[in-house]
Structure 1
Amino acid sequence: MEDETEITVPHSRSRLRKIVRLLAVFVLIWFLAAYLIVPFAWDRYAEHHPAFDDSPRITETSDHHPGDPLNVGLVGSLDQVEQIFKAAKWYPAAALGVRSDLEIAADSVLSRPDDEAPVSSLYLFGRKEDLAFEQPVGDNPRHRHHVRLWKMDRESTSGRTQWIGSAVYDERVGLSHTTGQITHVTAPDVDVERDYLFECLEKTGELASHSIDYGFHKQLEGKNGGGDPWHTDGNLFIGVIAEDVP
C-alpha cells in the first residue's frame, strides 16, 4: 500500500500542475486577444473603412465600432446637470478599466451592490463622455440604468450650455461579441431607457420644459460596440433645467 501511495500522489500533483498551467495560458491568451490584438485589428480595419467614421447621431467606441445611439439632450450648467441627477437618485459612474472589469464581474457573481459601478468609455466629437450617471436595479450591478453625456460646443439660443447623450439599460454582464472583453449587455429598446430617464428627471420638479425632436434619427436600428442590437423610434428627448436650480 505504501508503494501505491508514493506513486499516486506525485502523479496527481503533476496532473494538477498541468491543469493550472493550461488555465493560466488560456487566461493569458484571452487577455491578449480581447484587450490588445482585437482592438489593434479594429483600429487597422477602421483606417481603411470610412463607414466606421463617427456619426453625429451615434457614438463610437475607442476601437472605432459604432456605439450607442444618442437619444437625450439637456440644457443647463454643469452644476445644474449634476444637481438634477442627484435629485433623481442617479449616481456618477466610474471609468472602466481592466481592474474595474474584474471587480464588476466579481460583484455580479457575488450580487454585491455598487452605486458607482464603472461604464465603458464611448466617444463623440472626438472625445469620451464628459459625464456618466447610473441608477442601480436591485443589489446586483449586472443590470442598471445609465446615461453618458457630452457637452456640446454650441450654446442654446439663450446662451446656456447644451448636452447630448445616450441612455441605455444594461441587462447583464457578459463578453463582447466583437472583442471578447467583459462588458455589459444592453437592452435593445433604447427608447424605454430614454423615457424612464425623463420620467425620473420630471419627478424632481427641476425641469422647466421637456420637448421632442421628432425624426432625429434616420437609422432606426443597428448594433453597438459590443455587438448588441438596438432599435429606436428615432426621437430625441430634450429637457431644459430650470434656471433657478442651484
Structure 2
Amino acid sequence: MTIGRTILALAAAALSALPGLAAAEPFDKTLLGAPQSASKGDITVSVAVPGAKEVEGIFGLPMIEKGIQPVHIEIANKGSTPLWYMPITTDETYFSPAEVAYRFHDRLEPDRSVENAKRVEDMAIRMSVAPGATVSGFVFTHLETGLKFVTVGMLNGGNEVDFRFIVPVPGPAYAAPPLDTVGFLARQTPEEVDLPTLRARIEALPCCTTDASGSRNGDPLNLVVIGPGIDTIFPFVDRGWHLTEPLDIHSAVDTAKSFLVGTQYETSPVSPLYLFGRQQDIALQKARGSINERNHMRFWLTPLTYQGLKVWVGQISRDIGVELTDKSWYLTTHKIGPEVDFDRDYVLQDMLKAGAVAHFGYAKGVGVSTDADPRVNLTNDPYVTDGLRLVLMLTDDGGLVTGADSLEWEKLPLPAE
C-alpha cells in the first residue's frame, strides 16, 4: 500500500465514527435551478450553481459581488461505508464559512453580522456522510461564469471517488466553448488517425499562432493535449488553472488596477491569438504572486481524433511582467519569459503530479529558435526553443506518475557542454 493510500485508509477509518450531518437549508429550493446528477455504485451526487440574484435570495448577501460563488452539493450514500467529501477537490482555495461571513461583517450592526455568520455556517455542507445518509449544503468557491467545471471528490473506504460536472452559470462567458459542446465539437469534422499518422499530422501543424490577418507569427504552438472533449480541461482545473475572463472594458480596468497595485488576478484575460482562422477556443491561466506573474495557455480544437479522443493544439508561455502600451485599446500587455520550453515542460510536471498522464512524448513542428537568432511574438518579446512540441495523452484514472508511458518519438536535446 502506498503512503497516499495509507493516509486515505486512516482518514476513512477515522470517519467511520462520525455522524452524517445534513445541513439545514431554509431557502426556496427553486432558486437553485435545475441540478445536475450522477451516480457511481451506491453514491449519487447532485450539483447546482445559482446565479447572483438567486445567491442573494438564498443567503440575503451579495456574495457574487465579493467574488464568492456558492456551489450547492448533495451527496446520497446508499452504501455501507462512510464517505468524506473533500471541498479542496471542488476549489483548491475554497472559502471557509467564517471567511465568507467576515466579508459581510458590519461593526455598526453586530447582531445582523452574527445572524449572517450563523446562516452561512448552517448552510455549509458537512464533510462526513454516514452509510444510508444524505448530506447537502454549499461549498464556497471562487467566481466563474459562463461555464463552471465542478469536481466533487470524496474518500470511500480508503479510495478516492470523483464526480465531475460542467455547469452553465449566468454571466459573461469565460474563455471556453459554449456549453453546447456537442454542437461545438460536431462543427469539427473528425478524422480518426492511427499513431504514426497522428505524429505526422502533429508535426505538420503550423509552427506558431498568428495575428487576426494571419500575416504575422506570434507565440509558438508548443503543446498538444489529447483527451475526452472539453472534459480534457478537468485535470488543469484540479491543478489550479482557471478559465480566463473575456477581454472587455471591465477586465481591462481590473488588469490595470492589479498591475498598479501589484495584486493577483486569477482570471485575468488573455489577448486573442489566431489559428485555423479563429481565436483560441479555450484559455487557461495559473496565477502566481501577482498580475505580473502567471502561466497561461491557449487551446484550439483540431479535426483529428485518436482512439476516439479529441486532439487539441495549444500554446503555453510564462508571463514575467506587465507593461503599459499604446498598441492596444486595453493599454496593458504581458511580457513573456524567453525560455518557452521551460513553460512547456512545466505542464508535463503539472499533469504528472495530477496523475492525469497516460502517455507523453515530443514531436517536431515548432522549429528551433536560438539565443543567437531568436524569434519574437506579436509584442516583439524574443523566445528560444528546441523546436519540439509536448504531446500529452490524458486519462481520468488518476494513476500514479510511474504509470505514465513515454512515446518514443523525439528526444529532448542534451545541454551543450
TM-score w.r.t. length of structure 2? 0.43
How far has the Cα of 1:98 moved from its partner? 4.3
In structure 2, the partner of 1:228 is 381
Classify the secondary structure of the residue corresponding to 1:152: strand
Higher RCO, 1 vs 2 (CA within 8 Å, ≥6 residues apart): 1
Q: CA deviation at 1:105?
A: 1.5
Whether contact under 8 Å (2:325, 2:332) holds in the other structure is: yes
Paired residue secondary structure (1:104): helix
Trace 1:33-44 onto structure 2 (pairs within 5 A): none
Per the alignment, residue 146 of structure 1 pairs with 296
- 1:58, 1:232 → 2: CA distance? 12
Whether 1:129 aligns to 2:280 is yes
Counterpart residue identity of residue 90, structure 1: W
Q: Structure 1 residue 190 and structure 2 residue 190: aligned?
A: no
Q: Is the 1:60–1:123 contact (alpha carbons within 8 Å) kept by the matching residues of 2? A: yes
- The answer to whether structure 1 residue 164 and structure 2 residue 317 are counterparts is no
Q: 1:82 — aligned with what?
A: 233
Aligned to 2:261: 110
**Alpha-carbon displacement from aligned partner over 1:36-66 (angstroms, at most 9, x marks no partner):** xxxxxxxxxxxxxxxxxxx811101235432
Greater per-residue strand proportion = 2
Residue 119 of structure 1 aligns with an amino acid whose one-letter code is V
Distance 1:235 1:184, change over 3 A: same
| Number of residue pairs the alignment of both structures matches | 188
Distance 1:177 1:70, change over 3 A: farther
CA RMSD of aligned residues (A): 2.1
Per-residue CA distance 1:152-205 (angstroms, 9 max, x = gap): 01212x121000100000111114596684211111111111011111111000
In structure 1, stretches of 5+ residues that fail to align are: 1-54
Cα 1:105–1:178 change in 2 (3 A) is closer
CA contact (8 A) 1:178 1:227 kept: no
Q: Separation in 2 of the partners of 1:73 and 1:184?
A: 23
Shift in CA distance, 77/228, structure 1 to aligned 2, threshold 3 Å: same
Q: Is the 8 A contact 2:229 2:309 kept in 1?
A: no
Equivalent residue letter for 1:97: D
| Letter in structure 2 aligned against 1:216 | G
Q: 1:110 to 1:176 in 2, by over 3 A?
A: closer
User: Contact 1:149/1:165 (CA < 8 Å) preserved in 2?
Assistant: yes
For residue 60 of structure 1, the aligned residue among 210, 216, 219 is 210
Runs of 4+ residues over 6 Å off in structure 1: none
Q: CA deviation at 1:209?
A: 1.0
Q: Any idea what SS the aligned residue of 1:155 has?
A: strand
Alignment partner of 2:303: what SS?
coil
2:297 and 2:377 map into 1 onto residues whose CA distance is 15
Aligned equivalent of 2:251: 100
Note if contact 1:101-1:183 (Cα within 8 Å) is conserved in structure 2.
Answer: no
- Percent identity over the alignment? 28
User: Which is helix-richer, 1 or 2?
Assistant: 1
Does the CA-based 8 Å contact 1:216-1:236 persist in structure 2? yes
Residue matched to 1:26 = none
Inter-partner Cα distance in structure 2 for 1:177 and 1:190? 26
- Aligned to 1:102, the other structure's residue is in SS state helix
- What secondary structure sits across from 1:134 in the alignment? strand
Please say if residues 207 and 239 of structure 1, whose CA atoms lie closer than 8 Å, have aligned partners that are also in contact: yes
Where 1:106 maps in the other structure, the secondary structure is helix
